Structure 1
Amino acid sequence: MKLLRVNDHDMAYLDIGAGKPLLCVHGSLNDFRAWMAVLKPLSAGRRLIVPSLRHYFPEHWDGRGGRFTMAQHVDDVIAFIEGLGTGPVDLIGHSRGGHLAFRLALRRPDLVDRLVLAEPGGQLDDSLLPEGAGDGPPAAGSRAHVAAASEKIAAGDLDGGLRAFIDGINGPGSWDALPAADRQMREDNAYTLIAQVNEGRLPFARAEAEALSVPTLFVGGADTPGMLPVVLKALAAHVKGARTVTIPQAGHSMFRQQPAAFAKAVLAFLED
């Protein structure tokens, strides 16, 4: 593990291999350990750089104070890329990290050669929301969904809060079915969910999708329920020249569930 000082914060990261830099940004309740299943294939012939965002493990944070916002994390990753001194990178973002990567590529396309968005998390504004898609219970990853889970965590019910969040993303029983290492990673990052409620994440807009100028691949899991596939489809329809690939027999954690298929699809796009 290495550390790079950015914006008065020591960002921890893994740095593996050599060649064209490829940067992977994790999602909610995750950290650099999230990418373990694909470290080997993604670092073959490349320099793979995998950071943990501010306040995620290995930092031990209680969810109080600090600077936990989407804007801060975007600023941090911009400063991180600049601090590496590698020039433009290929950028992969998953879930919340996909939202971050989308914002970063919009703001600083000079830092990104190719962009991979693996089920980017967030809500759609009225310019992108399909009719009827906003009906029903709170969408996975929405402020209401995060708030319901974080309230349990803040009250001391760590297991109940994490179950509410993970089951809301992947379907009932998903938390109990997670391997022990994946459960531990979520527990290590549980208190970030309290701050995520008020992180200031803006909804995706059609004008933003149309303005994205970086070659982009959207990756989805064939079995992902809820709004995440709707968000992916809506964005992909308006990003010029975007490609989409669906990983079979996988849900939202597609790169952990089907690492070989995920790496093959991503590398084919990056090397095209």
Structure 2
Amino acid sequence: MPHLTAPDGTKIAYEDHLPPRAPDRTILLLHGLAGDRAEWSDLIPRLLADGHRVVAYDARAHGASTRRPADVTRAAHVADGVALVEELGLAPVTLVGQSLGGHTALLVAAAQPHLVRSLILIEAGPAGRNPELPSLIASWLADWHPADRAVMVACVAELATDDHWREWSAVRCPTLLVEGANGTMGPTEPSDMLARRRPDDDVRHVVVPDAGHDVHLDRPEQLYEAIAGYLNDLNAGR
């Protein structure tokens, strides 16, 4: 398993899948909190079959990456995403992120727009300032080892006090918002996201029926269809 080593010594495990022909598009997959790159096992072969290069990685503190890094701030996660894009020569890249991974993708697109071709956010947005979030995560991970649970809670600590609407408004690349019909996004978050981007930014919103927060696990085929249709439209200039 190849690794990228961040400046702080954190090792980021990734896998790089190449299609049999020159890729139409390069896609970087970012999983959510307490997940890993294996969650994309259904989507990766579908995207490869469509002719895309697909890279998936384990976020710091997850999977085969360094499990207890010293820094798990939002800035550190963003720096890892940027480093992968630059080190592997992925730009201009399409970022596909679910939940916290989608939040990271959003911040990468805002901070380094020249690296990002398009953005696909799955059950992810800029809303934050939820003081109850750390305790909710701790409760959700009650059966985890205390140290690992503490790291996961630390990964979302900033979202208890901060939101990122300013960064969302700064994103200029085409964007697809994917919401699970039974997901956890705020009731007005998708519509607020649409309202805060310019009309010519090409931001679209789809709702996947019978899917919860983990759309990629609950309804993988429907998620693929939404992503493939969107990318086909972009390639056709629609």
Aligned match of 1:258: 219
Q: Residue by residue, what CA displacement relative to the aligned partner does 1:43-97 show, whole Å, maximum 9, x if unpaired?
A: 2211110011112111463x5x611111100011111110002321111111111
Aligned match of 1:139: none
Q: How far is 1:98 from its partner?
A: 1.1
Correspondence 1:193 to 2:152:
yes
Q: Which runs of 5+ in 1 are unaligned?
A: 126-141, 162-187
Correspondence 1:233 to 2:191:
yes
Distance 1:16 1:246, change over 3 A: same
Aligned match of 2:143: 158
The answer to whether the 8 Å contact 1:27/1:97 transfers is: yes
The answer to whether the 8 Å contact 2:121/2:178 transfers is: yes
Aligned match of 2:163: 203
* Aligned-residue RMSD, C-alpha: 2.7
Out of 101, 113, 116, the position equivalent to 2:117 is: 113
Report the 3-state secondary structure (helix = DSSP H, G, I; strand = E; otherwise coil) of the residue aligned with 2:117: strand
Report the 3-state secondary structure (helix = DSSP H, G, I; strand = E; otherwise coil) of the residue aligned with 2:15: strand
The answer to whether the 8 Å contact 1:143/1:197 transfers is: no
Aligned match of 1:37: 42
1:126-205 mapped onto 2 (5 Å cutoff):
142-150=130-138, 157-158=142-143, 190-199=149-158, 202-205=162-165
Paired with 2:126 and 2:196, the residues of 1 have a C-alpha distance of: 16
The answer to whether the 8 Å contact 1:221/1:254 transfers is: yes
Distance 1:53 1:159, change over 3 A: closer
Aligned match of 1:212: 171
Q: How far is 1:21 from its partner?
A: 1.3
The answer to whether the 8 Å contact 1:152/1:160 transfers is: no
Out of 204, 218, 230, the position equivalent to 1:269 is: 230
Aligned match of 2:3: 3
Q: How many residues align?
A: 223
Q: How far is 1:143 from its partner?
A: 4.1
1:69-88 mapped onto 2 (5 Å cutoff):
69-88=73-92
Report sequence identity in percent.
29
Paired with 2:2 and 2:154, the residues of 1 have a C-alpha distance of: 26
Q: How far is 1:38 from its partner?
A: 1.4
Query: What amino acid does structure 1 have at the position aligned with 2:209?
Result: P
Paired with 1:59 and 1:214, the residues of 2 have a C-alpha distance of: 29
Q: How far is 1:112 from its partner?
A: 0.5
TM-score after normalising by structure 1: 0.73
Report the 3-state secondary structure (helix = DSSP H, G, I; strand = E; otherwise coil) of the residue aligned with 2:196: coil
Report the 3-state secondary structure (helix = DSSP H, G, I; strand = E; otherwise coil) of the residue aligned with 2:56: strand
Q: Which runs of 5+ in 2 are unaligned?
A: 234-238
Aligned match of 1:174: none
Distance 1:60 1:208, change over 3 A: closer
Report the 3-state secondary structure (helix = DSSP H, G, I; strand = E; otherwise coil) of the residue aligned with 1:73: helix
Report the 3-state secondary structure (helix = DSSP H, G, I; strand = E; otherwise coil) of the residue aligned with 1:43: helix
Report the 3-state secondary structure (helix = DSSP H, G, I; strand = E; otherwise coil) of the residue aligned with 1:48: strand
TM-score after normalising by structure 2: 0.82
